[in-house]
Amino acid sequence: MGKGGQKIYGLAKKAKPVQQENMAAYLVDVNTIKILPFKLPSIGPNDVRIRIKAVGICGSDVHYLKTMKCADFEVKEPMVIGHECAGIVDKVGSEVNHLVPGDRVAVEPGISCSRCQQCKGGQYNLCPDMKFFATPPVHGSLANQV
């Protein structure tokens, strides 16, 4: 490597790491998706932050894209789409003890209440209080991080 190469090395060494902003695919109108910043909340004790590596396009995403609606749900303000996702654990909350940064994970797209009859009976998918990725008002997972 010549003098030029050494100079470049010197510059690279001093360069500050680029803090990359989290971006996501927002559905903003019929057939209109925009890539916009997606600010994540700070990590709670039972939360995990994941660097997303893959996201499936669900039938409901397509319904929302074409009509802004799916079943009884309607997108009234910009919403990040994307349900089924997989990625790498980046950070874990203080109470999380079954995952560590670096773990590869497939993510269950819904969080159930764990208190109702359906949840207690093991049919949490029927929970009336289920919160799903990409179901208003909950944002989805088509993002760099969730």
Residues that bind Zn ion (CB under 5 A): 58, 83, 112-113, 116, 119, 127
Closer residue to Zn ion (CB): 92 or 135? 135
Between CA 33 and CA 26 the distance in angstroms is 5
Question: Which SS3 state, helix, strand or coil, does residue 46 take?
Answer: coil
Closer residue to Zn ion (CB): 56 or 137? 56
Closer residue to Zn ion (CB): 92 or 119? 119
Question: Which SS3 state, helix, strand or coil, does residue 94 take?
Answer: coil
Which residues, in sequence order, are CB contacts of 134 under 8 Å at separation 6+? 58, 60, 61, 64, 79, 80, 81, 82, 83, 109, 140, 141, 142
Closer residue to Zn ion (CB): 2 or 122? 122
Torsions phi, psi for 96 (to 5 deg): -80, 120
Residue 121 CB, nearest approach to Zn ion (Å): 10
Residue 4 CB, nearest approach to Zn ion (Å): 52
Residue 74 CB, nearest approach to Zn ion (Å): 17
Residue 124 CB, nearest approach to Zn ion (Å): 6
